[in-house]
Amino acid sequence: MNKYVLLAYATVWSIVAPPVSAEPLVRVHTSYYYVDGPSATVLAAQIDQNGPSGADGKRYAGKTKWDVQWKFKHEQHGVTCEMKEVAVAVGVAQTLPKWRSEKNGVAALKTRWQQFTDALKRHEDGHKDHGVAAGKEIEAALLAAKPASNCEDLAASANSAADVIVKKYQKLDQEYDRKTGHGRTQGAALL
What Rg do the C-alpha atoms of the chain give, in angstroms?
23
Half-sphere exposure of 169 (CA within 13 A, CB side): 23
Average pLDDT over all residues of the chain = 90
Cβ pair 26, 90 in contact under 8 A: yes
Identify the band that residue 21 occupies on the pLDDT scale cut at 50, 70 and 90. Answer: low
Cβ pair 173, 133 in contact under 8 A: no
Predicted local confidence at residue 18, as pLDDT:
45
CB proximity list for 1: less than 8 A, separation 6 or greater: none
Q: Provide the 8-state DSSP code for 104.
A: G
136-173: pLDDT as tens digits: 999 999 999 999 999 999 999 999 999 999 999 999 99
Q: Which ranges of 100-150 would DSSP assign to H, the alpha helix?
A: 107-143
| Cα gap 162→68, rounded to integer Å | 9
- Whose CA is closest to 86, among 68, 66, 107? 68
Please determine, for residue 117, whether its predicted confidence score (pLDDT) is greater than 50.
yes
| Cα gap 186→114, rounded to integer Å | 14
Predicted local confidence at residue 164, as pLDDT:
98
Predicted local confidence at residue 139, as pLDDT:
97
The percent of residues above 70 in pLDDT, for the chain, comes to 88
Task: Please give the average per-residue pLDDT across 113-122, as a whole number.
Answer: 98
Write out 18-46 in H/E/C secondary structure. CCCCCCCEEEEEEEEEEECCCCHHHHHHH
